[in-house]
Structure formats: C-alpha cells, structure tokens
Amino acid sequence: MKKYQEWINSHKVTSVKAGEKLDVCDTEYIWCKATVELVIKNACRKDLLYLHYEGWNRKYDEYMYIDSHRISPLGLYTNRRDIPVYRMVNGQAGGGSV
C-alpha cells in the first residue's frame, strides 16, 4: 500500500510558479502541455492557477485549482505514446496519439 501511495503522490502537483509548464487534461479529455500564467494564493483554499494551453488561442485558457485531477507534472502524460495527446503539425492541432 505504501508504494501505491508513493505512486499517487508522484502524479500530483503540490507547488508551482508562474512560467512553469504542466500536463493538463483539457475539456475534451486530451492531455496537453500548458504554461502556468498566474498563481493566485488564497488562505482558505489551494492555489488557483491560470493556465494557457501551448499552441492554442487564449480563449481556451482556464483557471484550475492545483489539486485538480486534470493537472500533472510535465511529461507524465504528454510524453506517452499510448494515450491521445494533441500534436501541432504546421501550426495546426491534430488529435490522436502518435
């Protein structure tokens, strides 16, 4: 059980600074790279992150709490080849795994 908990903890983001990149699951359940544009600290809740998806228009930017299940350390999902991720081809997004 201890190894399982260590594995779970390795998939969580506990602190981040503006400018850092993360793996973020978008609203279509596709993992993307995103940049933390802003970290909003709050004494009553976890940090709120303003995220910009790499290669996408700012209209898709999102706010998410740092403990969201949709946020993971950079590369945890976007470096995998067995799950769908967006890939930019000639400046255009293409879905699916490569």
* Domain residue spans of the chain: 2-94
Phi-psi region of 15 (alpha: psi -120 to 50; beta: other; left: phi over 0): beta
52 or 96, which is more confident: 52
Q: Which two tokens stand for residue 43?
A: 């004494």
Average pLDDT, the chain: 87
What pLDDT digit, counting tens, does each position of 31-79 carry? 999 999 999 998 888 999 999 999 999 999 999 999 999 999 999 999 9
pLDDT value of position 68? 94
Question: What Å distances lie between residue 84 and 5, 14, 18, 77, CA to CA?
Answer: 26, 25, 27, 9
Domain 2-94, second-level architecture = Roll (2.30)
| Cα(80)–Cα(66) distance, integer angstroms | 22
